[in-house]
Structure formats: structure tokens, C-alpha cells
Amino acid sequence: MKRAQYTERGPDPQASIAAVELATPEPAAGQALLEVLAAPINPSDVLTLTGLYGMLPPLPAVGGNEGVGRVLAVGPDTQGPAIGQTVLLPVGCGTWSTHVLADAKSLMPLPNDADPLQLAMMTVNPPTALLMLREFVDLQPGEWVIQNAANSGVGAYLIQLAKVRGLKTVNVVRRESAVAGVRETGGDVVLVDAPDLAKRVREATGAAAIRLGIDAVGGTSTDHLAMSLAEGGVLVNYGAMSGEPCQLSPASFVFRNITLRGFWLSKWFIGSTPAQRIAVFGEVATLIATGKLKSRIQATYGIDQIKQAVAAAAAGERNGKILLVPNAQ
């Protein structure tokens, strides 16, 4: 077996990671040996390699926090998914590997006939979008939600999940070249961010009362979203792509009663029950299997191409997700 391992962190994320060959382990009692079918490279993975993420594993470490696999073998007297079953890889298990050992009884079976590349991306971005849509404001069909970073992975999922729920989306991007792709994804309104965003949002939506905003950019973009919300609206921040802290005018708090909240999926994992996690992942898996939820894929790489894969994922402008298919020849 091979796995993508790093022993140090630094500003060049692909410099420290490499494919390392090891003996393929035998599953012990209670364990399952999984063949990794696919695993994405997320922005959080790149930040982890550079040391800038909020939660860093001890070194040496294996990259990858999500993915999908197939059961190859199980240990003696082991209960769990059958050999050949597609399963969700455990969160944070080092998914940039050709094989992974896991606790068999904790594995979540997934539809065998669903696209493994799409299933591989279901642990982080789709639950993030789903939970931000439903946990902060009780939106009803026909209402609007506004988000920036609409051309991101989370942004694309949020557009699709909003449609499933009968919601309409205002989608904000930072460059004109991103507009067409967001429209193709299904965004109802797509606007380029600027100080007059609130005025253009009112014009595009017929002055709709927008009660929920989703911010992944920070900086002045946070205030642009806040000014686009109705009085008493909730703005949820889950990132700072601008590299700047959220900036919000006191007038939004004092005179318009805007609330700024934060969301981090890792915190939700810690505080949620197994039943809650199964319900969320089950909903996401069903939507993926039925074709109602999908993400663009720019390229796939084998495990021996890990440096090229990380470099591609870290590049500024992409038109889709970068995935590892570790066992590809």
C-alpha cells in the first residue's frame, strides 16, 4: 500500500508531502480493510499542510480527511458492512492512501451504484452547506438566501440544496469570470461583489426580505452581505478567503439588529450525536445517488502524483475539485 505522508509544514504545501510505500496491513478482529476509491483535496487540507488551519494533527501525518472506499477484507469475528460494500471513510483517518484500516461496525454503507467521485466529497462541503441553510434561520419555500464565494465547493452545494428546499439564491462572486459557472450551477441571481452590492440585490430580488446570509470571504465583503439583509437578519461566517477579519458597520448591529454567527463543521461533529450525523450523511448520500447534488471535478490524480495534485488544489483559479484516486494505474 501507499499513503501520502508529510513530516513538516511550510509555505509550499506540495513540498513536504510524498507517497510512501508500506506493507498492506491485515485487519484484526473488529476491523475492516478498505480500498480507497477516491478522496478530495480541500482548502482545509492545503491550510493544514502550510500550518495555517485551526486544527493540526501531530507529525508525521497522512493527508486527507474525507473520502469513500470499498470493503476488501474483514478481521475474524467481525460485524459490519459486507466485502464489496461501498462505505464512507472515517473522518480524519488519512484518506490520501491506497488502503485504510477502520473499525468495521462504525462504517456507514453508501449506495454501490452511486458515483464514487461524487460520494468522496460528501463529508465536508455538503453537510456544511446543508447545516448553514437550516440551523440558523427557519427559511420557508420561496424565500431568498444570499451567499458570497458562490463559485466555491460549498457555494455550489448550497445552490443545489436551496433548490431542493424551494429557496432562491443570490450568489456573490469576486470576479466576472466566475459568473457563468455559478449560473450554470443554478444560481438564481449572480452578482460581482462591490460596495453597491445591497442596492443591486434589492433591484434583482424586488426588494425581497432576505433573512439569511452566508459569508466565506470576510473583510469588507462581510459588510456588503450584511447591508443586503433584512432587518433582524442572520449572517453566518464560515471562512476568510480574503485573509482579512470580518468587517461590519456598527449601524448593522445597532440600527438593523443584524446578528453575526460562526460555523465550523468540526465543532458540529464534536457536539452532534451519532444519530444526527447519520441523518445528515444519509440525506446527502441520497441526494448524490439520485443526481440532485453534485460537484464539478477539474482533475483526478493517482497517489504517486500527490505533489502535482496538491499544487493543483492550491492554485488560485480552478474550475472544479481536485481528487485523488489512489489506486488508479
Does residue 32 contact residue 102 with C-beta atoms inside 8 Å? yes
Question: How far is 301 from 308, CA to CA, in rounded Å?
Answer: 8
Exposed/middle/buried for 149, CB within 10 Å: 0-12, 13-18, 19+?
A: buried
Q: What is the DSSP letter of 246?
A: B
6, 53, 157, 301: which one is catalytic?
A: 53
Exposed/middle/buried for 13, CB within 10 Å: 0-12, 13-18, 19+?
A: buried
The SS3 of residue 301 is strand
Name the pairing type of β-strands 108-109 and 86-88: antiparallel
Q: Is 238 known to be catalytic?
A: no
Does residue 99 contact residue 34 with C-beta atoms inside 8 Å? yes
Which string of DSSP letters, residue by residue, matches 138-164? ---TT-EEEESSTTSHHHHHHHHHHHH
Tell me the one-letter amino acid at 80: G
Cell of 48: 493544514
Contacts 24+ apart (CB under 8 A), 47-50: 48/9, 49/6, 49/9, 49/10, 49/13, 49/14, 49/16, 49/17, 49/310, 50/9, 50/10, 50/11, 50/13
Spatial neighbors of 3 by CB under 8 A, at least 6 apart, are 19, 20, 22, 62, 94, 96, 97, 98, 303
Question: How far is 27 from 61, CA to CA, in rounded Å?
Answer: 21
Name the pairing type of β-strands 2-6 and 61-62: antiparallel
The residues that are catalytic are 53
